[in-house]
Structure formats: C-alpha cells, structure tokens
Amino acid sequence: MPANVNPRSRPPIDPAGFDLSFFPALLFRTDHSNDDAWDEILDELAETEYGTVDVHAITGPAWEGATVDEILAAMPPRAQSPVVVYVADRTTVTTAGCPLLVVDLRAQAEGPREVRMEAGSVSLFHGNLAISNIGFWDLLEKAALEPDGIIRD
C-alpha cells in the first residue's frame, strides 16, 4: 500500500465465515444508494445458465464507501482468502448491467489488480477461475478489447 494511504479501519473478514473448498464469491457492497441494483446483482448471481455461485455478501454501514485498499486490509491472510473479491460500488449501482469491480487478491504490487465485469458474467468467470481454466490476466486482456473496459458475456 502506498505510504500516503491511510485506510479507515473496517471490520476484519473472518475466514471461518466461508469455506474456501467451495470457492466462494465474496461480494462487498460499498454503496447502499440503490437497493434495486443490489437486488439485480443478487438475481444475476443466483440465476444463470452456468449454475449458481456460492455468494457471501458482505454489506452494512461499516462497508459504506470502502475503498479497495480498505477491503484488502480487512482480508485474512492470503492462504485463507479467495483469489478474487467482487465489489458493488457507486459505479456498479449507477451503470447499466451493474458492472462489479473484480479485485485480484494475488496481484503483485506493480501489476493491475482491478477490472469491471457485468454481474451476469460473473458466474461463468468464477466457475472457470475455480477450475483454473482462466486467470485474472485473461480478464485484463478481455477488458482491454472492450471500448469501455467492461467485460460482458
């Protein structure tokens, strides 16, 4: 983390709350201004042609306005964390398709660690990530091909 960043303390994420063997999708809600968009996101993750994603929603006033650095600071040690987390932020709830921010928890300090993906695309990506059929760098390449940088099916 850069020296000039002093993230606000957020509650630590307890790894006992999810089972990594089921490859859960941790979804942080950092903007609570649009409940309809939040419901749309949850619906997109629950009902897809690719099956369901084991979503663990992390929401509430303590996460309002949280930055990626604050989320990363609250995560358990790497061995007890998923590979990526998803963030429903202001951009997510105000943009058509509800593009979630996908954050790579394994990214090196010098490499990119974030990409946007429509909520409806998460199930396919997450399933492929779970079986190591795709990696975060594949997402970065795909996003680079999109005019707005948002990954869609």
* Domains of the chain listed by start with CATH number: 26-144 (3.40.50.800)
- Would you give the DSSP letter of residue 110? T
Residue 103 DSSP symbol: E
pTM: 0.88
Instruction: Provide the pLDDT for residue 59.
Output: 95
> What pLDDT, in 10s, does the model give residues 14-47?
888 777 767 788 999 999 999 999 999 999 888 7
Distance, CA of 146 to CA of 62 (rounded, Å):
34
Tens digits of per-residue pLDDT, 44-76? Answer: 888 767 667 788 899 999 999 999 999 999 988
73 touches 79 (CB < 8 A):
no
What value does the mean pLDDT of the chain take?
86
